[in-house]
Amino acid sequence: MSLGQGAATIVGLFVILALVVADVVLANDSTSDNAPSQIVRWVGRYTAVVPFGLGVLMGHWFHPDDAFDPILGARSPLYLLLIGLTLGIVGFLLRWHRRGITPWPWAVAGTVLGALLWPV
């Protein structure tokens, strides 16, 4: 690991630690539903974009193998964008029709597509 990678890892760990501490503090204060995790869960019930987008980022960063290449070549991120827009519209229509959506299938789909179409 080079010096730059080590510094980036340490900064990343501090940012994650700060976000976790802030989330725990905000979740336990007197104001209800103001922690980032609570806001994401609330928004995820009403739009498919948030769980799908978080799933894509998880698949993008945590794919199965470092030698993994995008399955559709250099245009894979463009296809991912088009799929995401289509799924966002479908999620909006489902939310409008059923008064809410289940976020976990969107997150799973985003994770799989992020790993296949946009690996690091």
- Inter-helix orientation angle 36-44/3-27, to 10°: 80
Read off the pLDDT of each residue in 16-22 and give the average, rounded to a whole number: 93
Q: How far is CA 50 from the centre of its chain?
A: 7
53: pLDDT strictly greater than 80: yes
CA dist 95 and 48 (Å) reads 9
The pLDDT assigned to 13 comes to 92
Read off the pLDDT of each residue in 94-110 and give the average, rounded to a whole number: 81
33: pLDDT strictly greater than 80: yes
Q: Which of 88, 97, 86, 80 has the alpha carbon at shortest distance from 44?
A: 88
Domain boundaries, the chain: 1-32, 45-117
95: pLDDT strictly greater than 90: no
Q: For all residues of the chain together, what is the average pLDDT?
A: 86
